């Protein structure tokens, strides 16, 4: 069974007041919640089991998505209480549900048209990252690429999309609690254990109401172009 995780526990402070009563993954764009675009692409890529971590307004997400049957998926929830665990801690808590092989993780607050097909990784590679063009709000980027190897200082620097594939071994020395993912990735990158690719298709970080409105305009334009 192919496993994936969608990160959906965040409070969405920059999206307030929209997220005061609606969790960010359920904010609508193009006629459906943001998280449903991820579920549809994961299902199309052959994933069968999705873990979603929840914290802020968790019951709304669980009530809306249910067990995943309507998407042709099995959905389980990793509830983070009393505090959200950040990206690293959230993935670590969910590891028992994600199997022993490579799994996909997608940020719940992005829109991306990457097909999400799993890469074929060498055994010593612990992670594979999708890098994208730097958006205006993050012009300095995060990582570089040397061939298909992710590097810390290689130029040009691209932005980490929030889409990655990970082996459980990346978290081998972690302990339960709240911690970020970035230090784990940087350590693995320095050991030559992270591959990546530069994706040039549509990607948007939906972190503010203005960016959500821009996505809405893009999707409405796409729908009108496709026609009936």
pTM: 0.94
| Prior bond of 156 cis (ω within 30°) | yes
> Which secondary-structure segment (H or E) carries 86?
helix 86-94
The average pLDDT across 199-223 equals 92
Which pLDDT value is given to residue 225?
A: 64
DSSP code for 152: S
Q: Take residue 57 and report the two structure tokens written for it.
A: 């307004």
**Tokens encoding 32:** 């459906």
Q: Is the pLDDT of residue 228 over 70?
A: no
Q: Specify the pLDDT at position 13.
A: 79
Q: Per residue in 66-110, pLDDT tens? A: 999 999 999 999 999 999 999 999 999 999 999 999 999 999 999
**Cβ–Cβ < 8 Å for 97, 76:** yes
Buried b (16+ CB within 10 A) or exposed e, 186-225: eebbeeebbbbbebeeebbbbbeeebbeebbeebeeeeee
Greater confidence (222 vs 198) lies with 198
Helices (H) and strands (E) in the chain, counts: 5, 13
Average the pLDDT over each of 13-17, 53-57, 89-93 and give the range with the smallest value. 13-17
DSSP 8-state assignment for residue 149: E
Residue percentage of the chain with pLDDT more than 70: 97
Domains located in the chain, CATH noted? 3-218 (3.90.550.10)
CB-CB contact of 66 with 59 (8 Å): no
Q: pLDDT at position 79, please? A: 96
Nearest to 33 by CA among 77, 56, 65: 65
Confidence check: pLDDT of 3 > 80: yes
For the chain, give percent helix, strand, coil, nearest 5. 30, 25, 40
């Amino acid at each position: 069974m192919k496993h994936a995780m969608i990160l959906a526990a965040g409070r969405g402070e920059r999206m307030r007041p929209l997220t005061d009563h609606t969790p960010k993954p359920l904010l609508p764009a193009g006629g459906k919640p943001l998280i449903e675009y991820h579920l549809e692409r994961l299902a199309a890529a052959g994933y069968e089991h999705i873990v979603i971590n929840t914290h802020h307004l968790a019951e709304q997400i669980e009530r809306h998505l249910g067990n995943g049957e309507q998407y042709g998926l099995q959905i389980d929830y990793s509830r983070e209480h009393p505090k959200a665990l950040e990206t690293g801690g959230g993935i670590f808590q969910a590891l028992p549900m994600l199997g022993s092989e490579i799994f996909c993780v997608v940020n719940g607050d992005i829109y991306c048209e990457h097909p999400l097909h799993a890469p074929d990784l060498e055994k010593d590679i612990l992670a594979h990252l999708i890098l994208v063009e730097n958006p205006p709000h993050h012009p300095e980027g995060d990582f570089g690429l040397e061939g298909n190897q992710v590097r810390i200082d290689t130029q040009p620097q691209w932005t980490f999309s929030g889409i990655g594939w990970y082996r459980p071994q990346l978290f081998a020395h972690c302990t339960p609690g709240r911690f970020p993912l970035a230090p784990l990735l940087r350590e693995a990158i320095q050991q030559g254990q992270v591959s990546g690719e530069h994706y040039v298709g549509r990607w948007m970080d939906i972190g503010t109401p203005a960016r959500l409105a821009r996505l809405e305009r893009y999707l409405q334009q796409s729908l009108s172009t496709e026609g009936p």
